[in-house]
Amino acid sequence: MNTDQRRARLRELIRRQGFVSTPDLRTWLEVSESTIRRDLDYLESTGEAKRTHGGVFFTGPTSSLQLFESRLAGAWERKRQIARAASALIEDHDTLLLDGGSTTYELARQLVGRPLQVVTNSLPLANLFCACDSADLVLLGGYVHSRTGVSLGPYANEMLASLNVQTAVLSIAGADQRGYYNSNLLLVETERSMMRSADKTIVVADSSKFGKSSLARLCDLADVRTVVTDEGLTEAWRRILQDAGVELILAAEESAEAPEENS
């Protein structure tokens, strides 16, 4: 097998099993430990796998759910940059509430393997953490939105009322000077419950979301402590957020890595 074929086989093994030990991978693929290590480095860099003590578990997208509408390369690279910047705000052993947006999904992939208490209403995010023994996972119940795989509505909100977390991380569909928005009325109600359950709220969103509204207003700009976005945010919007008292973090674009040599 060449490198691409071997990595495709490796990816499929991990996806099917959820978790695979390193000795089993060496046996199944009949390659050296150094080759497995290089291949796992590659899969980690693409967000498809995460190594832990003794093996590796799958962190790629769940094919059975239509998670998100678009996976345009440029947009998703910005989301990954934002996720990396947001992950630096989370400390080990934090209690964290994550909603079901595309950028929070990228953040979850950064956090898999770290010791955390995670509460989420997202089936795709829960799938990432349930294979990881370092995280305590709480999955909120309720009506499940078929396109995004998130639970919404009064049952989820009632459960949130009994919880307290240090940080809620939310995604948005848009923001204007009146506040932050999302595109689903039930989702906004659940996100408001998330904010009430949290000591602080972080919004993660790429710069294209700012300057536009959506169906349902979530809250005022000042109700969110921190916004993490990319460097494409306009100077006008940087001033608007800072004037509202929001801590603004701009995720820097990472330089391209040198190409990997073939095995």
Tens of pLDDT along 106-147? 899 889 889 999 999 998 888 888 767 789 999 999 888 877
In a domain, 263, yes or no: no
Q: Which of 62, 67, 209 is nearest to 145 (CA)?
A: 67
Q: Residue 256 is which amino acid? A: A
- HSE-CB of 247 using CA atoms within 13 angstroms: 8
**Strand runs labelled E in 68-142:** 95-98, 116-120, 135-139
Query: Do 109 and 45 sit in the same domain of this protein?
Result: no
Domain match, 247 and 170 both? yes
Nearest-10 Cα torsion for 155, 157, 161, 166? 130
Amino acid identity of 201?
Answer: T
Same domain, yes or no: 190 and 163? yes
User: Could you tell me what percent of the chain has a pLDDT over 70?
Assistant: 88
Is 260 part of any domain?
no
50: left (phi over 0), alpha (psi -120 to 50) or beta: beta
Ramachandran category for residue 245: left, alpha or beta (phi over 0 → left; psi -120 to 50 → alpha): left
User: In the β-sheet with 216-219, what is the strand arrangement from edge to edge?
Assistant: 174-176, 179-182, 216-219
Tell me how far apart the alpha carbons of residues 75 and 263 are, in angstroms, rounded to a whole number: 31
Tell me if the pTM is above 0.85.
no
Q: Say if residues 246 and 222 touch (Cβ distance below 8 Å).
A: yes
- Lowest-confidence segment of 4-13, 14-23, 61-70 by average pLDDT: 61-70
Helices 73-87, 102-111: axis angle to 10 degrees equals 50
- Same domain? 46 vs 78: no
Name the more confident of 254 and 102.
Answer: 102
Q: Where residue 69 falls among pLDDT bands split at 50, 70, 90?
A: very low
- 257 occurs within a structural domain: no
Which is more confident, 63 or 164? 164
| Residue 167, both tokens | 């940080």
> What CATH number should be reported for the domain holding residue 14?
1.10.10.10
pLDDT at residue 18 tops 80:
no
Q: Please name the residues in contact with 137: beta carbons below 8 A apart, sequence gap of 6 or more.
A: 118, 120, 126, 129, 130
Please say which residue of 35, 58, 81 terminates a domain: 58
CA distance 108 to 110: 5
| Tens of pLDDT, residues 143-198 | 888 777 899 999 999 999 999 999 999 999 999 999 999 988 999 999 999 999 99
Tokens of 176: 């204007």
Residue-level pLDDT at 61: 58
> Domain range spanning residue 21?
3-58
Which CATH number covers residue 237?
A: 3.40.50.1360
Structural domains counted in the chain: 2
- Same domain assignment for residues 147 and 234: yes
Joined tokens for residue 30: 């009949």
Q: Are residues 11 and 85 in the same domain?
A: no
